[in-house]
Structure 1
Amino acid sequence: MEMAIARHEHVLATRGALADAFDLRHRLPQAWEGVKAGRCEVWVVRRVARMSRTLDRHQIHIVDTAVAAALDEAPSRILSIAEAKVIEADPVAHQARIDKNQSQKGVWYPKPRPGAQVDESDSQAGVGTVFARLDEADALAHQHTVDDLATALAEHADVADGAEPLGMDHWRAEAFAMLADPAAVLAFLNSIDDTPGTSEVEEVAQQPSTPEVEEVAQQPSRDHRSPTTELIVHVSLTDTGEFGPVARVEGLGPRLLDQVHDLLRRHATITVQPVIDLHTGRSVNGYEHPTDVKHRTQLRTVGDAFPHATGLFNHSGRPPDHDHTTPYDKHGPPGQTGDHNDTPLTRHHHRAKTHLGYTVMQLGPDRWIWGTPHGLYRLVTGGGTRPITQAEYHLHTHQALTLAGDYAA
């Protein structure tokens, strides 16, 4: 009580701060040392302490080691890693969380509060609000249905000359409302299906034959309105060669393998693509990065490769610019384009690299060293950004030149 008064705050806030401090000092000592060294803001590790409070002293060591290694990364990355490790440390407890939430599903249609119709800051005039807690697989299926219907509505909307087209938020709302009348949805979809008997597969088959096209053409045709979802799952093996209990699903985050199974259970047809081995790479002689190279690069890096960038490609929905780390020389040696010379950047950071005097060299398929115009040096990997000294920078530069020579040879 006395400490709360001295801190000018409620006693519960002080109690929470004390709990976090004791957890950090005694249960997360590696992370606490990193915070004291200035590698991370305190609020981030306080949240990690709260997330991991139910773990025992053996389980929390897994979280402490992983978080301490990631303290130089962005807060969102640190919290994502902590979340995954908390699940990995006690999958039984996480399954209990899932079971509890399954019993608390529901949909709510709240009535407008008095005065909400004329509230200038948050007007509810003419609109309603819906809240829903669904099974994760059901929520994703509902999202894809709404997105597909909204896209169709937007494409076939009558837009007056000179008028601004409505945004996709509007059309998603229209699609969501339209689902209240399934017959109207079917009637609309049938009205725009004006090319029966023609499928995307048939169109592809008319193109010049390539191995990829031939493979697609042999597949049975299907209704283009059939819901399809690409699920990218990152898995790792334990020391015994078995799958670990936790996988990372692109766009969703860490999930138990049983949850991944549940995401797929509703689909009658599942196509499993070949496993992408991120240890392999290839190069080509042309300027454009091939699609498979871009895919591997984005899976390795997860997000923007600019120092301390926080943008995640699967969250923004906008593909990155795949910049040649070493500028492409049309008169240069073969094999300049590939995993060894690919820096994924958002457009803003791409322009900064091109025009503002930043230097970057690539140490491998997922490691870059950056130098800024004002003499700051950073090592960027698929795990985040780490400050390095000028001496380390020059050492890495020599390594990068050696690697570039090996690839050119």
Structure 2
Amino acid sequence: MTTTPPDSVAGTFQVPDDAAGVLAAARERRAAADRAEADLLALAVQWAVIHPAETLDDAEGYATRVHLAGVDEQPVTLAGPGAPLVKEFSVAEFAAAIGVGTETGKYYLGHALELRYRLPKCWARVVSGDLAAWKARRVANETISAALTPVAARFVDAHVAPVAHKIRPSQLTRVIEEAIGRFMPEHAERRRREAADGRHLNIDHSQISFQGTSQISGELDLADALDLDDAIRDLAAQLADLGSTESLDVRRAIALGELARRQLAPTLPIGPDAEPDREPQPEPKQAKKAKRSRTVLHLHLSEAALEGRELVGRVENTRQPVTVEQIRAWCGRPDTDLVVQPVMDLEGHVHVDAYEVPDRIAQRVALRDLTCVFPWCTRPARNLDPDGHGCDCDHVTPYEPGGPPGQTCACRLAPLCRRHHRLKTHSAWTYTIVEPGTYLWSSPHGYQYLRDHEGTLDVTTERHCAGCRHHPRD
């Protein structure tokens, strides 16, 4: 079977006919597109500068003047505090010029202004060609959405700019949440209260389906949600032990109803014919109950947080920052079993001579790297879900039976999810340890990627990429 190659674009480019040539040409075009996008962002800033409403007072005066003149044009705020306002009609004109709708053009101009005036370190990297415009726009979009104060935006800019080329969306979210916790404490507390007040559980009886089912939706406290999920999971497993052949999703739905009926069952005799002294009847024989597993929240606090000098901690389960006040509330619940783990030295060389990786080493590896270390993979290294599977501890250098002692050491292991473990084992992908927690990957075609706890960086050079070559143009 053969594949017909695509036609050249407008006759100006000959599509390579080999894999290495396709990858090299694609990278070249991507770099050119990034340069063009950076230029377009600079033009967007210049367009806004040419059409300003420079201050709020000027904006209000301008709005009054155009209204009196019978014009509906209004100055618009496109970015956060500190960025200039822009005349409304100019947005539509710029959007039309670049071939997008007005609302899309509004977002584009807002991203450009956010970068130029509130994220200057990220902007400098875009202008220099060191940071792809689309990656910078992703940062700007999040800081605008979070309505950060200028000082909070500067905090995000300072921490994100050096790693904006490789930062993952989840990491960016954590930095923004930390900025809110540090510099907008009233806002953080208000959001926490609003989230708590916004908890709800809706059971829609008015939209019962023909099959006799109802929709349930809600928002719970994280600890309550984990406990509920844990209880449903255990009961669904019991239903399977009792012989249920339903799918897991169906058994979970049945389990929720069973939980409700257990809570509604009276524990004391009620009614006029009740017999308080009657001996309780034996319960129907059931399958042996599985041991109830407790949901574990892995909470990380710094010494400064314990001493009251820090406002933010971290929940490893969700890899999100959380206020110290919320951690205090969870730990203070009467049904909480609190276990304080000692500080673990992640740089220690703990090793064994066997091929199998003991838990004490696997835990160090997971805490050091947090996720699978394949480029751009974000699967958690440690299994935080009783029904899930954590990453495998891979011997970066293959284990040699009968070889030197101490081959199974935290410094020689890396977490790989099953998919990427298989990829590394059964394909030409290879990697080496630069230092514990930092890995240099090589693809089958010779492209190289540096992966560390901050993200993934493409570090390919022509010297390293032995299989890469540019396809000669006509």
Same fold (TM over 0.5): yes
Does residue 231 of the first structure (1) align with residue 297 of the second (2)?
A: yes
Shift of 1:373: 2.1
CA contact (8 A) 1:324 1:342 kept: yes
Q: Equivalent of 1:385, from 456, 464, 468?
A: 456
Report the residue type matching 1:22 in the other structure: L
What's the counterpart of residue 16 of structure 2? none
The aligned residue for residue 115 of structure 2 is: 24
Residue pair 1:369, 1:393 contacting (<8 A) in 2 also: no
Inter-partner Cα distance in structure 2 for 1:97 and 1:76: 19
Equivalent-residue separation in structure 2 for 1:319 and 1:390 (angstroms): 34
State the Cα deviation string for residues 338-396 of structure 1 (Å, max 9, x = none): 111112112221222223222211133211111222121121112211222559979xx
Is residue 303 of structure 1 aligned with residue 363 of structure 2?
A: no
Q: Which residue of 1 aligns with 2:310?
A: 244
Asked if residue 127 in structure 1 is aligned to residue 210 in structure 2, the reply is no
Give 2:160's aligned residue.
67
Secondary structure at the aligned position of 1:58 is classed as: helix
* Residue 171 of structure 1, CA deviation: 1.7
* Partner SS state of residue 260, structure 2: coil
Q: Which residue of 1 aligns with 2:338?
A: 270
Which moves more between the two structures, 363-372 or 43-52? 43-52
Q: Distance between the aligned counterparts of 2:283 and 2:368, measured in 1?
A: 39
Give the match for residue 29 of structure 2: none
Task: Name the residue aligned to 1:370.
Answer: 441
How many residue pairs get aligned? The number is 351
Cα displacement string for residues 307-337 of structure 1 (whole angstroms, at most 9, x for unaligned residues) = 2223234578322121100111123211111
Distance 1:241 1:103, change over 3 A: closer
Instruction: Report the alpha carbon displacement of residue 275 of structure 1 after superposing the two structures with TM.
Output: 3.1
What's the CA shift for 1:70?
3.1
Residue 257 of structure 1: which of 311, 324, 347 is its match?
A: 324
Evaluate the alpha carbon distance shift between residue 318 and residue 374 of structure 1 in structure 2; reply closer, same or farther with a 3 A threshold: same
Equivalent position amino acid for 2:344 in 1: I
**2:89 matched to which residue of 1?**
2
Alpha-carbon shift at residue 14 of structure 1 (Å): 4.5
**Cα shift at 1:173:** 1.0
Preserved contact between residue 447 and residue 464 of structure 2 (Cα < 8 Å): no
How far does the alpha carbon of each residue in 1:4-54 deviate from its partner, in whole angstroms, 9 at most, with x for none? 433256755554443333222111122334455217535522332224423
The TM-score normalised by the length of structure 2 is 0.65
C-alpha distance in 2 between matches for 1:391 and 1:189: 74
Query: Which residues of 2 match residues 204-353 of structure 1 at below 5 A?
Result: 224-225=291-292, 228-238=294-304, 244-252=310-318, 253-266=320-333, 267-313=335-381, 317-353=388-424
- In the alignment, which residue of structure 2 is the partner of 1:101? 195
The residue aligned with 1:357 is 428
Aligned-residue CA RMSD (Å):
3.4
Q: C-alpha distance in 1, partners of 2:375/2:174?
A: 19
Q: Is the 8 A contact 1:35 1:41 kept in 2?
A: no
Residue 144 (structure 2) pairs with residue 45 (structure 1): no
State how far apart, in whole Å, the 2-side matches of 1:40 and 1:303 are.
24
CA contact (8 A) 2:178 2:312 kept: yes
CA contact (8 A) 1:379 1:387 kept: yes
2:393 alignment partner, SS class: strand
8 A Cα contact 2:180 2:187, kept in partner: no
* Cα distance between partner residues in 1 of 2:110 and 2:389: 41
8 Å Cα contact 2:238/2:287 also seen in 1: no
CA distance in 1, matches of 2:205, 2:242: 33
- Determine the structure 2 residue equivalent to 1:145: 231
8 Å CA contact retained: 1:248, 1:254: yes
The 5-angstrom pairing of residues 150-229 of structure 1 reads 150-159=236-245, 166-182=246-262, 191-192=285-286, 194=288, 224-225=291-292, 228-229=294-295
* Residues 320 and 347, structure 1, Cα contact 8 Å, conserved in 2: yes
1:305 CA drift (Å): 0.7
Q: Percent identity?
A: 28
Question: Can you give the 5+ residue segments of structure 1 that lack an aligned partner in the other structure?
Answer: 118-123, 160-165, 196-222, 395-409
SS in 1 for 2:327: helix
2:237 maps to amino acid: T
User: Amino acid of the residue matched to residue 169 of structure 1?
Assistant: D
8 Å CA contact retained: 1:73, 1:386: no
| CA positional deviation for 1:239 | 11
Structure 2: gaps (5+ residues): 1-87, 268-280, 466-474
Q: 1:86 to 1:67 in 2, by over 3 A?
A: farther
Give the number of the structure whose alpha-carbon radius of gyration is greater: 2
Give the secondary-structure state (helix, strand or coil) at the position aligned to 1:273: coil
Q: d(CA) in 1 for partners of 2:441 and 2:283?
A: 51
SS in 1 for 2:355: coil
Q: Secondary structure at the match of 2:420?
A: helix
Task: Tell me the SS of whatever aligns to 1:180.
Answer: helix
CA contact (8 A) 1:137 1:262 kept: no
Paired residue type of 1:378: Y
Indicate the residue corresponding to 1:77 in structure 2: 171
Task: Report deviation, 1:96.
Answer: 1.2
The whole-number CA distance in structure 2 between the counterparts of 1:356 and 1:224 is 41
